[in-house]
Amino acid sequence: MPWVIGTDEAGYGPNLGPLVIGATVWHYGGRRKLDRALAQLAAAVQATDDRELAIADSKRLYSPGVGLSRLERCLLAALASCGITPRDAHDVWNRLAPESFAALQAETMYAAPCGSWPVACAATEIAPLREELQAILGAQQWRLVGVVCRAIFPREFNSEVRRLGNKAHVLSQSTLELAARALSLTMGEDVLICCDKHGGRNHYTGVLQHCFSDGWITPLRESLELSTYELRLGDRNVRIEFRAQGECQPPTALASMAAKYLRELAMQAFNAFWSDRVADLRPTAGYPGDARRFYDQVTAAREKLGIDVDAFWRER
């Protein structure tokens, strides 16, 4: 199975800001068993205190107290290794999530460009990390082929929750639709799709049948730790795994990094938009509790601007 696709999300829990889903596409050209090859790659790019390069769960690389710098330079180095070199914050949206970029621009709360590029790190830091990553990938016979993302802003999120019944279904369906898009970047050989578990969900047959209606789905295992399926697409085999703590694998970890980075760019613009209109307003990350504080503080300005609640607040 020389092709590997990893998926993960950022922003599933908040009431404010977008849900962002990332997918990364990798090719393995070596002879080792794929599980061992993934484990060796993970060891080579893990986040440690004594090295700057890391492909790891975004929670290891970013926190409000630490800031965005390490996540940004590691992600931009990875993107550069597969030929993606954004010119600015809007361009990174356009390169990674072109279909969502139009929605970003339509929702003026998120559209303000950042004042500098890169946003948090120095541009000179990226090239050395790109070269280090390329050396690791070359030595282990891996190639990063592409990164694609999708953002679901509150208006669409609320609509999808009403249509599908709950936000877990929105996450699963949107993730697998993005995985199907990423699959189009592969050709010929078999594929492994690695997903982080979606909440406490263990059963995915129905949503897989919906998103891959032209294939044949066979459940192999459905448990708390791992749910695995085989998808037959023409003459290709696709194995799909939903794994607890799946972000320990580099393809899923990089998807987590890309999704988190786009969400943080959106939230920086969102906070700047409202701070320009409400005096002494503290920024928010959008999570429950603080989101309600922020909601109350901007209500008068929001109503004056004619921005309806559905475009501002995620219901669940």
For 104-141, write each residue's pLDDT tens digit.
Answer: 888 889 987 677 899 999 999 999 999 999 999 999 99
280 domain residue, yes or no: no
Core vs surface per residue 34-54: b (16+ CB within 10 A) or e: beebbeebbebbbbeeeeebb
**169 pLDDT higher than 70:** yes
Q: Residue 39 sits in which domain range?
A: 3-269
198 domain residue, yes or no: yes
Asked if 311 and 159 touch (Cβ cutoff 8 Å), the reply is no
Structure tokens at 265: 């760019």
Please name the residue that has the structure tokens 């999570």: 287
**206 pLDDT higher than 80:** yes
What's the rounded Cα separation, in Å, for the pair 281 and 276?
9
Burial-class residue 124 by CB neighbours within 10 Å (0-12, 13-18, 19+).
Answer: exposed
**291 pLDDT higher than 70:** yes
Q: Which helix (H) or strand (E) holds 156?
A: helix 154-164
282 domain residue, yes or no: no
Average pLDDT over residues 243-255: 88
Asked if 153 and 18 touch (Cβ cutoff 8 Å), the reply is yes
Structural domains in the chain (count): 1
Count of CB atoms within 10 A of residue 165's CB? Answer: 10
132 domain residue, yes or no: yes
DSSP 8: E
Count of CB atoms within 10 A of residue 75's CB? Answer: 29
In sign, the C-alpha dihedral spanning 253, 258, 259, 264 is: positive
For residue 36, the domain's CATH number is: 3.30.420.10
Could you give the percent of the chain with pLDDT greater than 90? 81
Average pLDDT over residues 138-157: 97
225 domain residue, yes or no: yes
CA angle in degrees (0–180, nearest 5) for 62-66-69: 65
Q: Which helix (H) or strand (E) holds 193?
A: strand 191-196
Structure tokens at 169: 């279904």
Q: What is the pLDDT of residues 31-62, one digit of tens each?
A: 899 999 999 999 999 988 888 999 999 999 99
Please name the residue that has the structure tokens 């709360």: 109
259 domain residue, yes or no: yes
275 domain residue, yes or no: no
- Tell me the H-state helices in 50-142: 58-61, 69-81, 89-96, 98-106, 126-140
291 domain residue, yes or no: no
pLDDT mean across residues, the chain: 93
Beta bridge partners of 142: 28
pTM above the 0.85 mark? yes
